Amino acid sequence: MHSLIIALIAISVLYALYAIALMLKEAILLPSLPAPIENVKFWETACYNRGLRVRIFDDRQNALD
Protein backbone atom coordinates (compact mmCIF):
# COMPACT_ATOMS: atom_id res chain seq x y z
CA MET A 1 0.00 0.00 0.00
CA HIS A 2 1.26 3.45 -0.86
CA SER A 3 2.69 5.32 2.15
CA LEU A 4 0.49 8.38 1.50
CA ILE A 5 -2.64 6.23 1.70
CA ILE A 6 -1.43 4.67 4.94
CA ALA A 7 -0.83 8.17 6.34
CA LEU A 8 -4.30 9.33 5.27
CA ILE A 9 -5.92 6.34 6.96
CA ALA A 10 -3.88 6.91 10.13
CA ILE A 11 -4.85 10.58 10.32
CA SER A 12 -8.54 9.82 9.81
CA VAL A 13 -8.38 7.17 12.56
CA LEU A 14 -6.74 9.65 14.94
CA TYR A 15 -9.41 12.26 14.18
CA ALA A 16 -12.14 9.71 14.86
CA LEU A 17 -10.60 8.70 18.20
CA TYR A 18 -10.87 12.18 19.67
CA ALA A 19 -14.20 13.62 20.77
CA ILE A 20 -13.35 16.94 19.15
CA ALA A 21 -13.57 15.17 15.82
CA LEU A 22 -17.32 14.93 16.27
CA MET A 23 -17.44 18.71 15.99
CA LEU A 24 -14.99 18.83 13.07
CA LYS A 25 -16.33 19.99 9.74
CA GLU A 26 -13.80 19.99 6.94
CA ALA A 27 -14.30 21.32 3.43
CA ILE A 28 -11.76 20.17 0.87
CA LEU A 29 -11.27 22.01 -2.41
CA LEU A 30 -10.31 19.71 -5.25
CA PRO A 31 -6.89 20.45 -6.73
CA SER A 32 -6.69 21.42 -10.38
CA LEU A 33 -4.14 18.71 -11.16
CA PRO A 34 -5.63 15.25 -11.76
CA ALA A 35 -2.97 13.25 -9.87
CA PRO A 36 -3.88 14.35 -6.31
CA ILE A 37 -7.64 14.19 -6.91
CA GLU A 38 -7.77 10.45 -6.17
CA ASN A 39 -5.90 10.99 -2.88
CA VAL A 40 -8.33 13.74 -1.89
CA LYS A 41 -11.31 11.51 -2.70
CA PHE A 42 -9.72 8.72 -0.68
CA TRP A 43 -9.28 11.11 2.28
CA GLU A 44 -12.96 12.10 2.08
CA THR A 45 -14.04 8.44 2.04
CA ALA A 46 -11.70 7.41 4.88
CA CYS A 47 -13.02 10.22 7.08
CA TYR A 48 -16.66 9.59 6.15
CA ASN A 49 -16.28 5.89 7.03
CA ARG A 50 -15.15 6.95 10.50
CA GLY A 51 -18.10 9.27 11.08
CA LEU A 52 -16.33 12.54 10.29
CA ARG A 53 -18.02 15.31 8.33
CA VAL A 54 -15.63 15.84 5.44
CA ARG A 55 -16.80 16.88 1.97
CA ILE A 56 -15.12 17.68 -1.33
CA PHE A 57 -16.07 20.83 -3.23
CA ASP A 58 -15.20 22.10 -6.68
CA ASP A 59 -14.94 25.73 -5.62
CA ARG A 60 -14.45 27.82 -2.51
CA GLN A 61 -17.88 29.47 -2.55
CA ASN A 62 -19.71 26.14 -2.49
CA ALA A 63 -17.52 25.04 0.41
CA LEU A 64 -18.40 28.16 2.38
CA ASP A 65 -22.15 27.86 1.74
What does pLDDT average to over the chain?
78
Give the model confidence (pLDDT) of 18-43 as tens digits: 755 567 677 777 877 777 888 888 88
Three-state DSSP state, 17: helix
Residue 19 has what pLDDT? 53
Residue 43 has what pLDDT? 82
Residue 1 has what pLDDT? 55
Query: Is residue 35 within 8 Å of 4, Cβ to Cβ?
Result: no
Residue 22 has what pLDDT? 63
Query: What pTM does this model have?
Result: 0.60
Residue 12 has what pLDDT? 77
Query: Is residue 30 within 8 Å of 60, Cβ to Cβ?
Result: no
